[in-house]
Structure 1
Amino acid sequence: MNQKDPYNQSPWRAAFLVSALGFDIIVCTFVGYWLGNFAGKQFGDVKSWTVGGVLFGFAIGIATVVLVLKKFLEDKQE
């Protein structure tokens, strides 16, 4: 009776996961914006560097979300 049923997860865990994934994408995108803006001020052409930083940060955010979801689904199957 104390065994953990992987298919009967708490709805709070699912809500936390969805919130954490969104927060992860936002933070990575913001860090990309900040780094792109900083690089643009150092090397010139702020707009291009900022856009590149935002896109790079968003891509990193998506990659980390995929890794987290993969880990979450592996834990759920065990």
Structure 2
Amino acid sequence: MNKKGNEGNPWHALAMVGALGFEVGLSTAAGYFIGSWIAPSSSGWKIAGVFTGLIVGLLIAILLVKKALENKNG
């Protein structure tokens, strides 16, 4: 049997997409809750927390994809 890791495996691709969505969603939710913890009566902190969490989540997702592509090529 000549297998090359996870290349061409649809379950691996599905797991990667799910992990990316979970990471972005979790970071965004964490930003919202941190913003509401800092100032419960101010919606500005909640909005800032959501955008900060979204940016952090997207950066982590980019790093995960970059690492996955490096492992695939190397």
Measured on the aligned residues, the alpha-carbon RMSD in Å equals 1.6
Unaligned runs of 5+ in 1: none
Q: TM-score, normalised by structure 2?
A: 0.90
1:65 counterpart SS class: helix
1:32 counterpart SS class: helix
Aligned length: 74
Partner of 1:30: 29
1:62 matched to 2:62: no
1:73 matched to 2:69: yes
Q: TM-score, normalised by structure 1?
A: 0.86
Shift of 1:5: 5.8
Shift of 1:9: 2.7
Partner of 2:2: 2
2:5 & 2:30 partners in 1: Cα distance?
38
Alignment equivalent of 2:42, drawn from 25, 46, 49: 46
Between the aligned residues of both structures, percent identity stands at 35
Higher relative contact order at CA 8 Å, sep ≥6: structure 1 or structure 2? Answer: 1
Unaligned runs of 5+ in 2: none
Shift of 1:3: 4.9
- The structure whose Rg is larger is 1
Shift of 1:2: 3.5
